Amino acid sequence: MDSNQKSRYIPIIIAVSIVAGIFIGTFYANRFSGNRKETGAIGNYSNKLNGLLRIIDDQYVDTVNMSDLIEDAMPQILGELDPHSSYIPAKDLQAVNDDLRGSFSGIGVQFTIQQDTIHISDVIAGGPSEKVGIMPGDRIVEIDDSAFVGKIVTNNESMKRLKGPKGSEVKLGVFRQGEKELLHFTIIRGDIPNKSIKAAYMINDKFGYINIEKFSETTYPEMLISLAKLHQDNCQGIIIDLRGNTGGYMGPAIQMVNEFLPKGRLIVYTEGRKAPRENYPSNGTGSSQQMPLIVLLDEGSASASEIFAGAIQDNDRGTIIGRRSFGKGLVQQPIEFNDGSAIRLTIARYYTPSGRCIQKPYQKGKDEQYELDLLTRYEHGEFFSQDSIKQDESHIFYTSLGRPVYGGGGIMPDIFVPQDTTGMTSYFRMAVNRGLTIQFSFQYTDRNRQKLQKYTNADDLLKYLKTQNILEKFAQFAESKGLKRRNILMYQSKELFDRNLYGNIIYNMLNMEEYLKYLNQSDKTVLKALEILEKEESFPQAPEQQSASAHERTEETIA
């Protein structure tokens, strides 16, 4: 290797050394300043790395952009610890925090990017955009007197320009169908709610359904409102849907579990090398302690979702239905730096009441196997057959009633429901993977917005859509985009296409709750939950109390 090739690696080595020094020095300064005296070992490391930094600054042959190298190297250093310790650059921290704070400052629209242009799909009621007259179907083509179309229009860039401090102004140039000239609006940004509960409604005359997308600062009060609403409707049992919920804050998850448990039950505990064990018990003030409860999980349910489900399962408080959860049992502490950046450092593990740490195995440093775990599960058939799941029987624990549960990789449901592949064909898969179903649904909605506006709920809109030969129109659209028509395959996947296309149009025209109402009508996991509630089997029984018929039903579900 010649000297030029060697020189390519010098900046990386420098960056890692610099960042290690800055990271260790800053972390321990922030963490322990005023509380503990710095140990000799830490002092020696810090002095050595700071000395190296000064030497590089004084003597290195070329000019080095330290800031850029540090930003590039920080994620690599934290990546050597575990899969969930992470670095957040200053430019991204606001967006990361906004996602879990329950609100952000912006103009109050929901949009999609089609053909390099922002298309407004919904306007938040009472928000800044509605107040000035922005409407669904409008296209934003100018921002602050500058054209904003073409390749520059990405989701990140659009959010960056539309969001901003509360009270600040943004000028928009809007194209609206039927108008000959651009419309211009000046909008004063304001606080926009970012709700984490996407649906809460009576799924039939007896039972309620709550869909929780994430665990943010406002999730617990949102759930209290949802529960109160369902109680007023004489709800006799609740389905909590945590599928695809990747987690968030642990605190709201603990508060929410508390609503369902009697006093003195352990919800979760945390423990780490520098973090003594801390127990989080229920206090007995919950409003739904006797309400029959079902929790839905899948492979996308992680972190706080697993705290919630694990507490319900280990306390035998309800039934978990679906597929094995993700398996994230590490607790991150946010630590901010003076430049506005931050890290999320793993400081402890959390454990379910039975003592399970459900963090799936990982190796320190970059762990490709960990990153590809869900793909590996899919290839092994775990999404389709419970028999494909290999439980680690060396990590066996017991619920309050003595039922066996396992650690070492996610929450295993009490009742397994496989991923539904009925009607799946290569034609449907290509249509979805190329984004054609989403494109068609949006364009159909956009062209027919005036006709569709008179339908205010999913059932009425669905009745109309079923008269419009949507699948045929989609096939023509897809062929114009290069997807060759395959009539036999298309009609084999008709139910999947109908569900996908109708659902997208309902979502575009109405809201997430109406969209979920439509999907839940044929969702096999939801239907299984309703079956269990109807049979009054949502409270698990001790092994010796289980009847033969219950055992047979479980085996039937597995098959």
What span, in angstroms and rounded, lies between the C-alpha atoms of 215 and 200? Answer: 15
Are the CB atoms for 70 and 89 separated by under 8 Å?
A: no
Are the CB atoms for 267 and 210 separated by under 8 Å?
A: no
DSSP class of residue 215 equals B
Q: What is the DSSP string of 223-288?
A: HHHHHHHHHHTT---EEEE-TT---B-HHHHHHHHHTTS-TT-EEEEEE-SSS--EEEE--S--S-
- The token duo for 172 is 């928009």
The pLDDT assigned to 498 comes to 96
- Bridge-partner residues for 202, per DSSP? 208
- Domains of the chain by residue range: 3-79, 103-193, 197-416, 426-522
**Helices 494-509 and 458-465, axial angle in degrees (round to 10):** 130
What span, in angstroms and rounded, lies between the C-alpha atoms of 48 and 26? Answer: 15
Contacts of residue 163, Cβ cutoff 8 Å, sequence gap at least 6: 95, 104, 105, 106, 107, 189
Catalytic residues: 303, 314, 328
Are the CB atoms for 268 and 311 separated by under 8 Å?
A: yes
- pTM, two decimal places: 0.84
What span, in angstroms and rounded, lies between the C-alpha atoms of 43 and 36? Answer: 13
Are the CB atoms for 478 and 497 separated by under 8 Å?
A: no
The pLDDT assigned to 54 comes to 75
Please name the residue that has the structure tokens 């600040």: 168
- The token duo for 367 is 């762990």
Q: How far is CA 392 from CA 9, 74, 216, 474, 554, in A?
A: 42, 35, 32, 47, 21
The pLDDT assigned to 160 comes to 87
Work out the burial of residue 126: count CB atoms within 10 Å of its CB; fewer than 13 is exposed, 13-18 middle, 19 or more buried.
exposed
What span, in angstroms and rounded, lies between the C-alpha atoms of 192 and 306? Answer: 28
The pLDDT assigned to 6 comes to 47
pLDDT along the chain (559 residues), means of 10: 51 51 46 42 67 77 78 84 91 83 87 88 88 91 93 90 92 90 93 92 97 96 97 97 95 97 97 94 95 97 97 97 94 92 94 93 74 81 77 84 88 93 94 94 92 94 96 96 96 96 94 95 97 90 53 31
Q: How far is CA 103 from CA 97, 136, 374, 410, 455, in A?
A: 10, 21, 31, 30, 29
Q: Which of 102, 79, 95 is nearest to 162 (CA)?
A: 95
Please name the residue that has the structure tokens 């695809």: 244
The pLDDT assigned to 9 comes to 52
What span, in angstroms and rounded, lies between the C-alpha atoms of 553 and 555? Answer: 5
The pLDDT assigned to 554 comes to 31
**DSSP-derived pairing of the beta strands 319-322 and 139-143:** unpaired
What span, in angstroms and rounded, lies between the C-alpha atoms of 351 and 358? Answer: 7
Please name the residue that has the structure tokens 């991204």: 92
CATH annotation of 197-416: 3.90.226.10
In CATH terms, 103-193 corresponds, of 3.90.1150.10, 3.40.50.460, 3.30.70.2190, 2.30.42.10, to: 2.30.42.10
Backbone angles phi, psi at 530, to 5 degrees: -65, -35
- The token duo for 103 is 């609100």
- The token duo for 52 is 């190296």
The pLDDT assigned to 8 comes to 54
Q: How far is CA 505 from CA 449, 474, 481, 488, 514, in A?
A: 10, 12, 20, 24, 11
